[in-house]
Structure 1
Amino acid sequence: MNLAVIGAGPAGLAAALAAADRGIRVRLVDSAAQPGGQFYRQPPLAFGARRPQELHHQWRTWQRLRDGLARHVEAGRVTHLAEHHVWFVERQLEPSGFIVHALLGPEQEEPATVRADAVLIATGGYEKVLPFPGWTLPGVVTAGGAQAMLKGGLVLPGRTAVVAGTGPLLMPVAVGLAAAGADVAALVESAGPKDFARHAATFAAHPAKLAEGASYAAALLRHRVPLLPRHTVVEAHGKDRIEAVTVAALDPAGRVEAGTERRIPCDTLAVGHGMLPHTDIAEALGCRIVGPGVAVDAEQRTDVPGVWAAGESTGIGGAALSLTEGHIAGRSAAARLRGREPDPRSWAAAAKSRTKARQFAAAVDAVYAPPAHWAELLYDDTLVCRCEEVPASAVREAVDELGATDARSVKLLTRAGMGWCQGRMCAAAVDGLTGCEATSARRPFARPVPLGVLARSGEDEPDLGPPG
């Protein structure tokens, strides 16, 4: 029996090791050249980084995962398929099983398939960025993008940076940029002390997380990074690239306080407003979605037989929660693939940790909510959908004058979400701007696929088969 694990971040690695430890053959399918995901992103070996651990915390955990993967690969229990970009997973009834369809290499041109008896989805999450005037200027990057450039490319996105938005990612990004030599002119966070005070009891139950936050706060002080809580970016300025940002304080209702605007010169703005789960593969398989994430039971099973999900795809909760969910999912999949009923007592400690981590994640999600009235800052000519160049005025017109009542109607009337990213960048903005309830996108494919690949799907794709 064999298991295909899609994604080699914390959840995928933990799941692959747990299953392989119990004798299951695993194909670890990942789009990156090296395992680790965004959290443990590594520079290419050719760069010869002398101290990559300086860009990470929880380095010992990464070493354990890395070494465990290497042992299983050497023993033939795990096959790591790097640079395999999964675009669809096909469920077969006769014979039962799954076919994982992928595109190979950095150019994503050559197709390949992987056959498996079961699938474990650990596809992680992606950043949510809400638009503001000037957000399309060169030099404006996502917070995760800035971190990826630093971790994966060992380069700074600029010399003078402002880090802004909301979410727990902002502090490590600001610290990482400052430690690498950038002048971080400000960390602009829309959450404030009162937001944290409302969840003080939950946070107090996680002293390790508090210590981690305190270490980042100390690093910000050490690097003299100004922290602006309860502030937001109003506009980015520049001609050929960003030259400055205007930030302002927020009132208790989440609106900009008049007279508090200040202009900060910079050549880089790293901005983010939280994360969203990657659910495309799960949705295409018919898995139930609850809220933004894939619904799972106590064993991390979806409602589709033979499909497990773990990590950020089930809801954003951080690396520790992803590791725990991956471990439980891998153990469950291993037992059931062998025809055995898993014994939940064998992972009781992990289940307890998962419950606490989910409670912490829920509190973090409540604290780091984007400003309630962010859409009021958009000019009519501010682009909302970058792929199709749809301005805010077109979206507003679709609702106010053309009668659109949901995101799909707005999409049909304006083309917002019809471009290359298929709404992954703009869906949250369109929902917020129109007041529509966020709904599942139900995209048929997890990434853009060349028509030629679709036309000859199943005919000449290399079949990597199950692990031998």
Structure 2
Amino acid sequence: MSRQVVIVGAGPAGLAAAEHALRAGARVTVLDQADTPGGQYHRMPPEAYQARNSGRAGFERRRRLLAHPRCRWWPGSTVWAFGSAENRVHVLRGQSDGTGRRRLTLVPDALILATGAHDRTLPFPGWELPGVYTAGAAQALAKGERVAIGKRVLVAGAGPFLLPVAESLLGVGAEVVAVLEANPFPTVRKGWSARPWRLAAHPGKAGELARYAVTLARHRVPYRLGRVVIEARGAGKVREVVTAGVRADWSLVPGTERVYEVDAVCVGHGFVPRPELAVAAGCVLDGGFVRVDGEQRTTVDGVFAAGEITGIGGAGTAAAEGAVAGCAAAGGRPSRALLRTRDRALAFAERLAAAHPIGPDWPGWLRADTIVCRCEETTYGELTRAARDPACPGPHALKLGTRAGLGPCQGRMCGVSVAELCGGAERHHRPIAQPIRLGELASRPEGEPE
């Protein structure tokens, strides 16, 4: 009898896992909170634009995959808890802000977590102003809705993701005044030039980089290395941003400030994994990422993980990990070719991390009144005072004392920054991993006996 595999997440990792689990003969259920598959990377524009969208062929391929007779596609599904026995998966189906969501329970033979990551944005004075966006949000609006976040936009942060964001903004008519990479040229060069012969295994990346370079050149968008946004200014809305040069450790270079007049700015400093469900399942983390073995197994029997929750590496790495996880979860043995592809992708991810790190001295651009936790309006000064207070021993007491990370986003925006600023980090096990109404919690799951 074929194995039942449940996959949480329909991004590159989840879709690759579904494809290879189906090839291995498994019955597959794919869950995602979104209404369409693909995740952030494969986000599609509205139906009116799809006919002229270059990703249409990929959309059709995903549609055929999820229409496979052994595959169930459950959009609008939220996994809110795991049972301790048999890896029982508790699901709510329906719009998260709607009523009448269905509560269901699945007991698969194997579970694959492919929940991805979200933007990391380091705080700076004025980042709470309207008009300051994460890079991912700016791209989501451009790709998914054909909406530009502003007429004059500055793109800044760290990592190659800034390039497709700028391309997306240009594609919907925005003027991108500049793209600023925080890491100086020597850091970027050292990361990408180490063992250059290994880059031959990734010819597509060079072509992608060349396309971005041509796009920026055609629109006369300057690309600057070693510069960061240190302040956003405006009365009720961002009107200008202050940038400055930084050293390799991201300490500010005095006298290098420059002001840009903009009506929007998007900032992204890489990505933060979303391991909440993995933590709820009892999986062990390493440095915030889910620990996996050579076949993407976590430390919990029957639970696999793939994609950005095991390490930030981009869509290619996520898909390669998903392929291995899907095959192994279905009871198959991943081929050497799959494992080689995954290992090459992981090597590329390590190179990316080396070329675009987060400098340790970024707190140098903060002021005492800079808001770090936007939900609770906790400032940098309040955090540092609490961290020195013997009455707040440890990060848990510090969070309770300052409310940092306890607002509606539950630390998704500020959690990593708060941990770095105050020393140490904790991932608490939460029996309820996602919001659920009391009425939904009290209701009996479908299919469960009276």
> So what's the TM-score if we normalise by structure 2?
0.92
Query: How far 1:244 sits from its partner (Å)?
Result: 0.8
Correspondent of 1:100 among 90, 95, 99: 90
- Matched with 1:339 is none
- Comparing 314-323 and 445-454, the one that deviates more: 445-454
- Matched with 1:37 is 39
- Matched with 1:18 is 20
Deviations 1:94-133 (A, max 9, x none): xx45233225214254242241322111111111111100
- Comparing 226-235 and 407-416, the one that deviates more: 407-416
Deviations 1:178-220 (A, max 9, x none): 1221100111110132112223134552233233222212211
- Matched with 1:393 is 381
Query: How far 1:306 sits from its partner (Å)?
Result: 1.3
- Matched with 2:444 is 460
Deviations 1:62-116 (A, max 9, x none): 553343333x0xx2x1111111122222242xxx452332252142542422413
Q: How many residues align?
A: 441
State the alpha-carbon separation in 1 of the partners of residues 79 and 197 from structure 2.
40
CA 1:363–1:407 in 2, change beyond 3 Å: closer, same or farther?
A: farther
Correspondent of 1:437 among 411, 416, 424: 424
CA 1:441–1:361 in 2, change beyond 3 Å: closer, same or farther?
A: farther
1:198 aligned counterpart, secondary structure: helix
- Matched with 1:338 is none
CA 1:451–1:264 in 2, change beyond 3 Å: closer, same or farther?
A: same
2:368 aligned counterpart, secondary structure: coil
State the alpha-carbon separation in 2 of the partners of residues 283 and 446 from structure 1.
9
Query: How far 1:23 sits from its partner (Å)?
Result: 2.5
CA 1:405–1:194 in 2, change beyond 3 Å: closer, same or farther?
A: farther
State the alpha-carbon separation in 2 of the partners of residues 177 and 35 from structure 1.
22
Query: How far 1:37 sits from its partner (Å)?
Result: 0.5
- Matched with 2:146 is 154
- Matched with 1:425 is 413
Mapping of residues 352-431 of structure 1, within 5 Å: 352-402=340-390, 404=392, 406-431=394-419
- Report if the CA contact (8 A) 2:124-2:365 is conserved: yes
Correspondent of 2:250 among 230, 251, 254: 254
- Report if the CA contact (8 A) 1:115-1:464 is conserved: no
1:205 aligned counterpart, secondary structure: helix
- Report if the CA contact (8 A) 1:112-1:463 is conserved: no
Say yes or no: does 1:201 pair with 2:188. Answer: no
Equivalent position amino acid for 1:85 in 2? T
Deviations 1:41-82 (A, max 9, x none): 11343x4433222xx6xx765553343333x0xx2x111111
Deviations 1:262-294 (A, max 9, x none): 110111111111111111111111111112211
State the alpha-carbon separation in 1 of the partners of residues 195 and 436 from structure 2.
44
- Report if the CA contact (8 A) 1:282-1:294 is conserved: yes
Query: How far 1:172 sits from its partner (Å)?
Result: 0.6
Equivalent position amino acid for 1:42 in 2? M
Equivalent position amino acid for 1:28 in 2? V
- Comparing 363-372 and 6-15, the one that deviates more: 363-372
Query: How far 1:391 sits from its partner (Å)?
Result: 1.1
Identity %: 39
Say yes or no: does 1:84 pair with 2:77. Answer: yes
State the alpha-carbon separation in 2 of the partners of residues 322 and 463 from structure 1.
34
- Report if the CA contact (8 A) 2:162-2:179 is conserved: yes
- Matched with 2:115 is 123
- Matched with 1:238 is 234
- Matched with 2:296 is 300
Correspondent of 2:172 among 176, 180, 192: 180
Mapping of residues 282-361 of structure 1, within 5 Å: 282-335=278-331, 342-344=332-334, 347-361=335-349
Structure 1 residues without counterparts, runs of 5 or longer: 336-341
State the alpha-carbon separation in 1 of the partners of residues 87 and 254 from structure 2.
60
State the alpha-carbon separation in 2 of the partners of residues 464 and 195 from structure 1.
57
Query: How far 1:11 sits from its partner (Å)?
Result: 0.8
- Report if the CA contact (8 A) 1:8-1:29 is conserved: yes
1:242 aligned counterpart, secondary structure: coil
State the alpha-carbon separation in 2 of the partners of residues 274 and 417 from structure 1.
19
CA 1:233–1:444 in 2, change beyond 3 Å: closer, same or farther?
A: farther
CA 1:295–1:373 in 2, change beyond 3 Å: closer, same or farther?
A: same
- Report if the CA contact (8 A) 1:237-1:243 is conserved: yes
CA 1:425–1:103 in 2, change beyond 3 Å: closer, same or farther?
A: farther
State the alpha-carbon separation in 1 of the partners of residues 391 and 160 from structure 2.
38
State the alpha-carbon separation in 2 of the partners of residues 292 and 231 from structure 1.
27
Equivalent position amino acid for 2:106 in 1? R
State the alpha-carbon separation in 1 of the partners of residues 264 and 195 from structure 2.
35
CA 1:417–1:215 in 2, change beyond 3 Å: closer, same or farther?
A: same
- Comparing 291-300 and 440-449, the one that deviates more: 440-449
Equivalent position amino acid for 1:437 in 2? G
Equivalent position amino acid for 2:171 in 1? A
Deviations 1:7-53 (A, max 9, x none): 111111111121122332111111001000110011343x4433222
- Matched with 1:264 is 260
Q: CA RMSD in A?
A: 2.1
